[in-house]
Structure 1
Amino acid sequence: MRNLFYSITLFLAFCSLTVKGQEKIIDRVVATVGSSIILQSDIDNQYMQYLANGGTPDESFKCTALQQLIMTKLLAQQAVIDSVEVTESEVDDQLNARMREMVRRAGNQERLEGFLKRSLLQYKEEMRPIMAEQMKANKLQGTIVQKISITPQEVKRYFESLNQDSLPAFNTEVEIGEIVVNPVLTKEEKNVFRDKAEKYRKQVLDGTDFGTVARFYSEDGSAPYGGELGFATRDTYVKEFSAMAFRLKEGEVSPVFETQFGFHFLQVLERRGEEVNVRHVLIKTKPTQASLERTKAKIDSIYDKVSSGKLPFHTAAAMFSDNKETKFNGGMVINEQSASRTTLIPVDALEKELFIAIDPLKPGEFSKPYQFKDRTEQVAYKFNYLKTRIPPHTASLEQDFAKIQEAAQEDKTRRKLSEWFEKKTKATFVHVSEDFQTCDELKMWLTPTDNDIAAK
């Protein structure tokens, strides 16, 4: 149960990818939560999505799905009482992001619409109230746990409460630094991509539908939606994009302009207060062979200075690295899976390319510069610094305080959520259909009468 309570946030995001109404079936109510109901089709859709994501057939998953849906309903109902709101633009942003991911997984818009047996526009409207409910529930959960903190004494007590004969074992961990250099194009090299964007803009000005041009030529994830981005505030976009989007009148097409992503042109579809809905075409700039050669020469020069001891690694990172996430942290990479933002990273969490680069190194050594692709699939060069390598070991308070602190914080959060749900169920009518009453996950939701039935 405790893992279910803590994973509710992940579940809320997971729910938004479910497929509704693949086939017409006779539906039924499987649970009542206050004034809300949960249908068999809700459970079946969760199970179908679980299988689609690679899960192995397991009917017990439906018990877990119903457990999580009950928690979502309770949170959402309290959110209404507490006047927790989400804006239309927030819902739009989430829906658009979810559908972009679904299109990516399906391969293209047509294949996804065939799977859904409806257009993306229809699906979006069906999902809107579901998404709004999930987002309200998520916001309320945040207010329940936002003030939870943990003291060093609580961390110590938590560690001492663990079975000392079965403490967790940690794999090899490393602290890694990096210096990244991105290719820089000359004006002449950039003009190739600018000219392409200008050509597509001219097609729009000559009468071709903007959405059609975006679908065929834009290199942005919004291309399947005709380039439409949905309502957003000024701070949603990089400054060059925002400046253009909030300068134009409705229906107006912008000139071609440049951002860190490449060359764009956009059209304002609608304004709503401090929000604007635009569609755009993006032509990404790509490194030329000449720019890659210049970049390789630059990083080789930096590597020579650092590896020879002429320039400290942290100084070189601050001066030359193009990765803004690490350059002001002495070049050190943060463990993004850790809430405590530690620099210790398990080696089994490293990307294959990075692991190969640092595996032969001893602490204090540097890898040779190598070419790689960043998260946006942009080609760049980097070299790594291995600061620390901690061999596999059993958890200890001295060596693993940050991880134990994180676990203690999670435990305290789970207990807080558990207490909230237990209190809420005493004040809310919850009924689970008879065929789900044998699920261990649902025992806490059963009424005395239900428990009598489940015991038979």
Structure 2
Amino acid sequence: MKKYIVVIAGLLSLLPVCAQQDDKSGSVVDEVIWVVGDEPILRSEVEANRMMSAMEGIRWNGDPDCAIPEQLAVQKLFLHQAAIDSIEVKESEISSGIEQRIEEWIQQIGSREKLEEYKKQTLSQIRESMHDEYRDQLLIRRMKERLVKDITVTPAEVRRYFRNLPQDSIPYVPTEVEVQILTMTPRISTEEINRVKDELRDYTDRVNRGETSFQTLARLYSEDPGSRRMGGELPFMGRAELDPAFAAAAFNLTDPKKISKIVESEFGMHIIQLVEKRGDKVKVRHILRKPLVADSTVNAALARLDSIGDDIRNNVFTFEDGATVISDDKDTRANKGLMAKKSQYGQTLSSRFQLQDLPPEIARVVDTLQVGQVSKAFTMINNRDKTVCVIAKLKNRIEGHKATITEDFQVMKEVVLNKRQEEKLHDWVVQKIKSTYVRLNDDYKNCHFEYEGWNR
């Protein structure tokens, strides 16, 4: 592997850092400004990131003309290592993340039409253009998680760090809340499940009779926004990247002309068609349909939860007992309903949330509660895009204040842990730069970079 990388680097060193020109005007349309390993960075990438930063209100430390390409170069290092370590992400994660990002933009800019006007693209084109970049972001996050997963800090380190911190550097802790939830997922009726299955069987029959193609039906009817625009086609993926039931059906397909039986995953119901197998990866098309929950079923679940809430308020049993026995939220049930947040690298940190860090439906309800109070039942959309019914209890509210080691040990621990993690990642990048071929356009030779070693 090392010899292979050296050969590529040597070949790249013989190539000119080239520019693509417009044939009519002779002006530069695009240009390779950096090479990291065997990956080029184009000037157009820098400009696209500059525009996105402006849209999201991101401010750069130092000169953006230097900071943006450096950030892209660092991303290339993490992506290269992720490929070496065979890190994978699920297509469903990519689609879900893109939809969330688009919704955030729509809220910021005012409407879908305004977003399309600003981006000069349709929503389908926006999704398609975001796919590879968002996939890379997830891979980078996974790679960082792997690099820092073994980092821990002791209570003694936290106390020492806090003791040596200047008074004006002690962090201010905004108002935080601790929240417990008890959830109930409304069941989908047999009639609705059969309706969706009949639709999928009809799609299969129409393709088998030669009336239409699988791709056409996927574009018309699939409820997976990420693959619908591609005729239902997903990229090559391994078993670990897919829902287990979906993976089992996809990898059992052998004939591209055959369509799978109906597959039920955590996202809905699918039919699948094989495109190609390559080693331990498979490329398939699929059509996703999501059975709908009847309003009457949702209302029944809300009424049941309101009854449970009344029993808790009347001391028939505690919220903790109810969450442990009744709740179907697997993330909180084992913790007596208590919600907990994780670091950006996947480590569980604290049960304290600022309101803006909670799911919006929960935040709106909790903001109206007194400590110890249990809410009326309400609905929310969970991270699997399913409607769930919820009652919430405000376990604690901690008003904003300067951090103290006795009251805010977890906050200070998080500060120290984040610092150790960032130090680890910074040192890793510096070492990676030393062992990776790097070539910069002369325009960047005088930049002051965050990481040493680019200009060598």
Between 1:427-436 and 1:317-326, the stretch displaced more is 427-436
CA contact (8 A) 2:380 2:388 kept: yes
Deviations 1:350-399 (A, max 9, x none): 34432331223222210111233333443332110111111111111122
CA contact (8 A) 1:218 1:281 kept: yes
Distance 1:203 1:56, change over 3 A: farther
Deviations 1:271-324 (A, max 9, x none): 334433222112111111322232223222222222211122122122222222
**Mapping of residues 34-113 of structure 1, within 5 Å:** 38-53=41-56, 60-72=63-75, 79=81, 84-86=84-86, 90=88, 97=94, 101=98, 105=102
Partner residue of 2:307?
A: 301
Q: How many residues align?
A: 417
Match of 2:325 among 319, 322, 328: 319
| Matched position secondary structure for 2:353 | strand
One-letter code aligned to 1:211: Q
Partner residue of 1:331?
A: 337
Deviations 1:102-123 (A, max 9, x none): 8984979x9999859xx99x98
One-letter code aligned to 1:172: T
Match of 1:188 among 185, 188, 191: 191
Distance in 2 (alpha carbons) for counterparts of 1:136 and 1:104: 17
Distance in 2 (alpha carbons) for counterparts of 1:65 and 1:84: 25
| Matched position secondary structure for 1:383 | strand
Distance 1:238 1:442, change over 3 A: closer
Deviations 1:116-151 (A, max 9, x none): 9xx99x9899x79x988x999777766654543322
Partner residue of 2:201?
A: 198
Matched, 1:290 2:296: yes
Between 1:407-416 and 1:433-442, the stretch displaced more is 433-442
CA contact (8 A) 1:103 1:112 kept: no
Match of 1:310 among 316, 325, 344: 316
One-letter code aligned to 1:209: S
| Matched position secondary structure for 2:325 | helix
Partner residue of 2:169?
A: 166
Partner residue of 2:3?
A: none
CA contact (8 A) 2:21 2:30 kept: no
| Matched position secondary structure for 1:341 | strand
Deviations 1:21-45 (A, max 9, x none): 9988255564566887655344223
One-letter code aligned to 1:283: R
Distance in 2 (alpha carbons) for counterparts of 1:254 and 1:425: 47
Matched, 1:403 2:411: yes
CA contact (8 A) 1:159 1:404 kept: yes
Deviations 1:387-418 (A, max 9, x none): 11111111111222222112212222333344
Distance in 2 (alpha carbons) for counterparts of 1:104 and 1:351: 15
Distance in 1 (alpha carbons) for counterparts of 2:287 and 2:398: 48
Normalised by the size of structure 2, how large is the TM-score? 0.75
Distance 1:216 1:136, change over 3 A: closer
One-letter code aligned to 1:360: T
**Mapping of residues 139-288 of structure 1, within 5 Å:** 145-207=148-210, 208-221=212-225, 222-251=227-256, 252-288=258-294
Deviations 1:145-181 (A, max 9, x none): 4543322222222222221233111111111111111
Distance 1:160 1:379, change over 3 A: same
One-letter code aligned to 2:94: A
Q: Percent identity?
A: 29
| Matched position secondary structure for 1:332 | coil
- TM-superposed CA distance for 1:233, in Å, is 3.3
Distance in 1 (alpha carbons) for counterparts of 2:168 and 2:180: 35
CA contact (8 A) 1:181 1:295 kept: yes
Matched, 1:394 2:397: no
Deviations 1:227-269 (A, max 9, x none): 2233333344444333332333222212234344333221222
- TM-superposed CA distance for 1:426, in Å, is 6.8
Matched, 1:353 2:361: yes
Distance 1:158 1:187, change over 3 A: same
Distance 1:111 1:371, change over 3 A: same
Between 1:311-320 and 1:65-74, the stretch displaced more is 65-74
- TM-superposed CA distance for 1:270, in Å, is 2.5
CA contact (8 A) 2:309 2:375 kept: no
Distance 1:206 1:341, change over 3 A: farther
Between 1:300-309 and 1:93-102, the stretch displaced more is 93-102
| Matched position secondary structure for 1:232 | coil
- TM-superposed CA distance for 1:197, in Å, is 2.3
Distance in 1 (alpha carbons) for counterparts of 2:245 and 2:135: 31
Partner residue of 2:14?
A: none
- TM-superposed CA distance for 1:422, in Å, is 5.0
Distance in 2 (alpha carbons) for counterparts of 1:362 and 1:233: 48
| Matched position secondary structure for 1:344 | coil
Distance 1:271 1:66, change over 3 A: closer
Distance 1:381 1:59, change over 3 A: same
Between 1:192-201 and 1:416-425, the stretch displaced more is 416-425
Deviations 1:83-114 (A, max 9, x none): 93548xx48x6799379838984979x99998
Distance in 2 (alpha carbons) for counterparts of 1:166 and 1:281: 54
